[in-house]
């Protein structure tokens, strides 16, 4: 499947999620969905899906949230997962049980011509922080919602509140150059950390009653499979994986040992619990 043509300013993200980033998420899908289960639980509780709801899952990736929601909106509801990543959407289509009211579309949410006023709820698990022009994206998505429509999504808070991502990165930095500095508004996992920024984007895109709830989490990066699984997760997800991209095997091996040294003292049984912190953002169309 060819990558979609999207907003010109999203070209880098389209390349990334159809290249190494998307491949890694697709290959790690099962582990990733276990790791992020605490996020899904918190998010779905806030969404409160019910039979008949029509939902858009933005940046649905390999489809875990879309599938969980489709199971809850039966029989008359519907879930549309939208994503720019061909490899991740292919995985979502493989995983989706037949018979659910669920479809996926390979498209940039910024420009996709959604059915106007066709949906009740816009949701996302970490799929909205990669828009280069977030006001344009959220305004486009707002047109897909009914006047009674709601928004509920999860995004990461500041890097300092997310040791699951930053501690392995510091260990990796002993071996590779630092990633190019990210501006606070550059697309990326932490682009929605600022409460003020998120409020501003959603208000400018026309939403009302924007609220942000801090939810602190414990993420078992070993997913119950011991130290080596935790080391593998640490190297394959988050900014540490980006920092290691393109480096030779011996450098990766040395970085791996530093990550192992970091995580070994944190092992509890077969788990390696690290803390994380997210916002659950809610808003209304009117």
For ligand SAM, the binding residues (CB under 6 A) are 6, 10, 13, 17, 32, 36, 59-62, 64-65, 82-85, 88, 108-110, 125-127, 130-131
Nearer to ligand SAM, 103 or 270 (CB): 103
Nearer to ligand SAM, 10 or 233 (CB): 10
DSSP 209-254: EEEEEEEEEEEETTTTS-HHHHHHHHHHSHHHHHHHTT--HHHHHH
Nearer to ligand SAM, 191 or 231 (CB): 191
Query: In 3-state terms, what secondary structure has residue 81?
Result: strand
Tell me the two tokens of residue 92.
């979502």
DSSP 119-167: EEEEEEES-STT-SSHHHHHHHHHHTEEEEEEEEEEEE--GGG-HHHHH
Nearer to ligand SAM, 91 or 175 (CB): 91
Please state whether beta strands 78-83 and 273-284 pair in parallel, antiparallel, or not at all (unpaired). Answer: unpaired
Nearer to ligand SAM, 78 or 114 (CB): 114
Q: How far is the CB of 17 from ligand SAM (least distance, A)?
A: 3
Query: In 3-state terms, what secondary structure has residue 109?
Result: coil
Nearer to ligand SAM, 32 or 271 (CB): 32
Q: Which residues contact 217 (CB under 8 A, 6 or more apart)?
A: 38, 39, 42, 275, 276, 277, 278
Label residue 80 left, alpha or beta by phi (over 0 means left) and psi (-120 to 50 means alpha).
beta
Nearer to ligand SAM, 65 or 241 (CB): 65
| Residue whose entry in the numeric block shows the structure tokens 């499979």 | 225
Q: How far is the CB of 10 from ligand SAM (least distance, A)?
A: 5
Q: How far is the CB of 103 from ligand SAM (least distance, A)?
A: 15
Q: How far is the CB of 45 from ligand SAM (least distance, A)?
A: 16
Q: How far is the CB of 265 from ligand SAM (least distance, A)?
A: 29
Q: How far is the CB of 21 from ligand SAM (least distance, A)?
A: 8
Q: How far is the CB of 254 from ligand SAM (least distance, A)?
A: 27
**Phi, psi dihedrals of residue 97, rounded to the nearest 5°:** -65, 145
Q: Which residues contact 37 (CB under 8 A, 6 or more apart)?
A: none
């Amino acid at each position: 499947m060819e990558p979609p043509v999207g907003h010109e300013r999203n070209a880098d993200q389209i390349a990334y999620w159809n290249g190494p980033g998307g491949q890694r998420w697709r290959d790690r899908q099962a582990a990733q969905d276990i790791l992020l289960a605490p996020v899904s639980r918190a998010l779905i509780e806030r969404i409160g899906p019910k039979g008949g709801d029509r939902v858009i899952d933005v940046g649905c990736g390999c489809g875990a949230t879309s599938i969980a929601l489709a199971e809850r909106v039966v029989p008359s509801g519907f879930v549309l997962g939208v994503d720019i990543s061909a490899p991740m959407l292919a995985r979502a289509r493989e995983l989706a049980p037949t018979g659910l009211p669920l479809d996926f579309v390979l498209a940039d949410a910024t420009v996709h011509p959604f059915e106007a006023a066709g949906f009740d709820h816009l949701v996302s698990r970490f799929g909205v922080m990669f828009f280069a022009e977030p006001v344009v994206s959220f305004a486009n998505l707002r047109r897909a919602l009914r006047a009674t429509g709601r928004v509920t999504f999860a995004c990461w808070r500041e890097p300092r509140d997310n040791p699951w991502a930053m501690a392995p990165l510091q260990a990796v930095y002993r071996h590779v150059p630092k990633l190019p500095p990210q501006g606070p508004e550059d697309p990326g996992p932490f682009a929605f950390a600022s409460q003020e920024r998120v409020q501003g984007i959603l208000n400018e895109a026309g939403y009302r009653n924007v609220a942000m709830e801090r939810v602190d989490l414990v993420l078992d990066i070993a997913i119950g499979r011991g130290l080596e699984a935790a080391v593998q997760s640490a190297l394959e997800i988050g900014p540490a994986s980006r920092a290691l991209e393109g480096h030779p095997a011996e450098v990766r091996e040395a970085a791996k040992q530093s990550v192992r040294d970091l995580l070994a003292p944190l092992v509890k049984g077969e788990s390696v619990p690290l803390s994380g912190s997210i916002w659950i953002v809610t808003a209304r169309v009117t």
